[in-house]
Structure 1
Amino acid sequence: MAVTKRVAVVTGAGGGIGRAIVADLTASGFTVVGWGRHEPSDPVRGASFLRCDVSDADEVEGATDEVLRLFGRIDVLVTSAAVLRTAPLHEMSLEIWEETMSINLRGVFLCTRAVLPTMIEHGGGSVVHLSSVHALSTVPGTAAYAASKGAVVSFSREVAVEYADRGVRANSLVVGSVDTAMSTLHGVELARDDVRVHVPAGAIGRMADPDEVAHAVRFLVSDDASFINGSALVIDGGLTARLM
């Protein structure tokens, strides 16, 4: 199939942020293939979807091969797939820890590794890894998630350094609270464990709309961001800038 526009792969395409990114890139003229463990309940018209568990190396390689078979190249990778499980560290099960690391970190590694050869072959590409403000400052009960998202920032910088001369840019997006089902579940689990989080009043404390995150992703993968590489762009409405 002849392709005249850039091809983007977005993981976690069934989630609130992932779907918003798929929709935004599709509307901006990208050929977009969403990956996820479950079919989206509200598919984006004009985008494709492949079932893929990002923590499974064989599934990631298979999905990559299928995108290349259909479209011949991958120019953009956005890793949005993630899980957030809450428990006090001294009570956290190994299952929670390993599931979080498997999807949030191993999945980022597997997907990035899989797309680099085609990006190098075609002279470059752009990778955006979604991290979280939990990489910078966090709340009780979120050890696994915070650790995984901190590692994503470091991993993204390493990719930027290693592949800059091959034309590949890699950046992370340090995302604050977003109005999604995952954020709602996180609040429920914190309350279950009697963790009290005091959200600032006003604009600093508001949740982002998933579209606001998607717009930042679109900027980072665009030519307007051609000199942005190895950056951890904070998009949190000023939350981590607030002292008290």
Structure 2
Amino acid sequence: MNQSRPTERISDELQGKRAVVTGGSRGIGAAIAQRLFNAGATVVTAARNPTADAPSEANFVSADLSTPGGVREFADAALRILGGVDIIVNNAGGVRTFPNALDIEEDWQYTMDINFLAAVRLNSALVPSMIASGGGVIVHLSSIATLSSHPLLLHYAAAKSALAVYSKGLAVQLAPQGIRVVAVSPGRVATPGADEALEKMSAHLGDSTELDSETWVGDIPLGRIGQSHDIAEAVGFLVSPRAAWITGSTLSIDGGQSAAL
């Protein structure tokens, strides 16, 4: 089976659209930014630091989205560059450590800030511009972790669960303004961030077996780890006019893993 990246020509269906993608310097975020650019959008991305994986065609803004001030500075920069926003993809996320579930301190707060509150804050800053433009689309990157109760990922799962619920309520609130809100829930995707998290988890557990994304395929019905372009293609569809009647939904992209649970 050929698992290579799709090569068919991408249309210009996003021509003239202005898009913001957080966490866009590598992995899923970089793939989404490239996909939107390829469809004609002007793209601004945000991350703490640029990487070689960041799309050269996107406008990069260095920002710490785990803080209210960082989100505000990025929103201001994006509006200066774009003049308005039609598409927001809240992809920034991740974990730094794996605290005890009873430790409601810095690690929990950071995880809530970057995985959930960064999206809430950015939407608050940019949606007025979107309303003024007559509508738009917001995509939130949730996670299959919302179906898990693994103690080491409880903070991450809680934050992504909050994001999914927030998406539904926001979709209802913004529908009269012509703004659609959807969530995407990826399964296990081979990205630098995912590999780093697995390495940290392995070290935390003291497991002598090295964990990497390719070892986690046993319960994926399609028999492979996802790739960044698998997620980017879905997001490209969801922000396009072809998805004009989709809002308030969460799309699982996980090779069938959630269906098999």
1:230 to 248, 254, 261: 248
2:218 to 188, 196, 200: 200
Deviation by residue 1:105-139 (Cα, 9 ceiling, x = unmatched): 11011111111100100110100000000112343
**Contact 2:144–2:254, Cα closer than 8 Å, also in 1:** yes
2:259 counterpart residue number: 241
1:119 counterpart residue number: 130
Distance between the aligned counterparts of 2:187 and 2:171, measured in 1? Answer: 23
3-state SS of the aligned residue for 2:80? Answer: helix
User: Is 136-145 or 32-41 further displaced after alignment?
Assistant: 136-145
CA distance 1:199–1:207, change in 2 (3 Å): closer
Residue 180 in 1 paired to residue 196 in 2? no
Deviation by residue 1:27-62 (Cα, 9 ceiling, x = unmatched): 111000001111233331321111122222233223
**Any unmatched runs of 5+ in structure 2?**
1-14, 210-214
Distance between the aligned counterparts of 2:46 and 2:191, measured in 1? Answer: 18
1:8 to 6, 19, 39: 19
**Any unmatched runs of 5+ in structure 1?**
none
Residue 218 in 1 paired to residue 229 in 2? no
Please tell me the residue identity of whatever aligns with 2:114.
Answer: I
Distance between the aligned counterparts of 1:201 and 1:216, measured in 2? Answer: 22
Residue 166 in 1 paired to residue 170 in 2? no
**Contact 1:83–1:100, Cα closer than 8 Å, also in 2:** yes
CA distance 1:29–1:102, change in 2 (3 Å): same
CA distance 1:93–1:166, change in 2 (3 Å): closer
Instruction: Note the C-alpha offset of 1:214.
Output: 0.5
**Contact 2:131–2:177, Cα closer than 8 Å, also in 1:** yes
Residue 156 in 1 paired to residue 174 in 2? no
Distance between the aligned counterparts of 1:56 and 1:68, measured in 2? Answer: 19
2:37 counterpart residue number: 26
**Contact 1:176–1:236, Cα closer than 8 Å, also in 2:** yes
Give the root-mean-square deviation of aligned CA atoms.
Answer: 2.1
TM-score w.r.t. length of structure 1: 0.90
2:4 counterpart residue number: none
CA distance 1:185–1:228, change in 2 (3 Å): same
Instruction: Note the C-alpha offset of 1:182.
Output: 1.8
**Contact 2:22–2:89, Cα closer than 8 Å, also in 1:** yes
2:77 counterpart residue number: 66
Instruction: Note the C-alpha offset of 1:205.
Output: 4.5
Distance between the aligned counterparts of 1:185 and 1:92, measured in 2? Answer: 22
**Contact 2:44–2:58, Cα closer than 8 Å, also in 1:** yes
Distance between the aligned counterparts of 1:129 and 1:225, measured in 2? Answer: 15
CA distance 1:50–1:230, change in 2 (3 Å): same
Distance between the aligned counterparts of 1:238 and 1:75, measured in 2? Answer: 31
3-state SS of the aligned residue for 1:141? Answer: helix
Distance between the aligned counterparts of 1:41 and 1:241, measured in 2? Answer: 35
**Contact 2:142–2:163, Cα closer than 8 Å, also in 1:** yes
3-state SS of the aligned residue for 2:142? Answer: strand
Distance between the aligned counterparts of 2:179 and 2:67, measured in 1? Answer: 24
**Contact 2:181–2:248, Cα closer than 8 Å, also in 1:** yes
Distance between the aligned counterparts of 1:10 and 1:66, measured in 2? Answer: 13
